[in-house]
A = this chain, B = another copy of it.
């Protein structure tokens, strides 16, 4: 929880997560989207990774980062549920099906 919200506190890191919603991207591709140096971006990736928000798959020479949405859902939705209704502190129900996500499936 703590580490997730910490990771979310920086706008670049939040934007990285948004970029990754479309699918995997390499560290270099991601870095090209931001006006900071690659070492700085590497630090952001490390923070996101250690929070469990992204996964890094080493593909010989390049690293493919992908979004780990379930960790984000569990932490954020768990907190929101707690603030809204004060129920469980464990957020167990929030991970997979936060809510029927639109007109989705139902």
Contacts and interface: CB of A to CB of B under 8 A. Distances in A.
A11 B2 CA distance: 7
Copies of this chain present = 2
Contacts of A5: 5, 8-9, 11, 14
A7 B18 CA distance: 20
A33 to B, nearest CB: 14
Contacts of A8: 5, 8-9, 79
Interface of A: 1-2, 5-6, 8-9, 11, 14, 17-18, 21-22, 67, 69, 72-73, 76-77, 79-87, 93, 98-102, 104-105
Contact of A76 (B18, B76, B82, B101): B76
